[in-house]
Amino acid sequence: MAKDENFDATVRSRLRELRLDKGMTLGELASRANIDTSTLSRLESGKRRLALDHLPSLAEALGVRVDDLLPRRKVVDPRIRPVARKFDGLTVWPLSGQGASNGLEASKMKIHASRNKPPKELPVHEGHHWMYVLKGDMRLLLGDEDFIVKPGEAVEFSTWTPHWFGASDGPVEVIAILGREGERIHFHET
């Protein structure tokens, strides 16, 4: 209930502020919005509850958008300050925040030269991977195939296929978009 009251109070305050900024009297605004002056006075003072159907005509009469009458949303800082995680021959910087889109996680990754030998059994799990090589040559085992992915090349594959990625000949830097399951499987701390 307090949220509704705060919302109404903010809209009433914005209505009055915009009316005064435009140099309009209650009567002028009421006439332009096609409502009674007494109704507008009660709306501004909070003696009458503001209905959503009032907003379009009031906004038009003021020459503003309906959004200009509504409370401004507080903008959350969109910056992501990645903290590196190091494990299993990788350094990973998360590039997406909590609750990333569609359960996908974006990361910048450094694959160290020491990550050059695949495990005996390649992992298989739910999901999909997309990787773009920035620097170095990445080795990708996908099923029975062995690929070298060069800078400027991207790969995309289902993780239901046995897979592994590592360095071919020196360190590699990639941008990766992985599902949560891929993050859990590949980037668990050992």
In angstroms, rounded to a whole number, what is the distance separating the alpha carbons of residues 116 and 42? 74
Q: Is 86 exposed, middle or buried (0-12, 13-18, 19+ CB in 10 A)?
A: exposed
The predicted structure's pLDDT at residue 168 = 95
Predicted local confidence at residue 190, as pLDDT? 39
pLDDT the model gives residue 151? 98
pLDDT at residue number 179 = 76
Instruction: Specify the CATH number of the domain 85-186.
Output: 2.60.120.10
The CATH architecture that domain 2-69 belongs to is Orthogonal Bundle (1.10)
Q: Which residues of the chain have pLDDT under 70?
A: 1-5, 98-102, 180-190
Cα angle, residue 105 at apex, residues 103 and 106 outer, rounded to 5°: 145
Output the pLDDT for position 100: 53
| Dihedral of alpha carbons 18, 23, 25, 27, sign | negative
d(CA 90, CA 92): 6
Give per-residue pLDDT as tens, 97-153.
Answer: 765 556 788 999 999 999 999 999 999 988 889 999 999 999 999 999 999 999 999
Q: Please, are residues 168 and 118 in contact by the beta-carbon 8 Å criterion?
A: no
**Amino acid 3: pLDDT:** 59
Same fold, 2-69 and 85-186: no
pTM confidence score:
0.60
Give the span between the Cα atoms of 163 and 22, in whole angstroms: 65
Domain boundaries, the chain: 2-69, 85-186
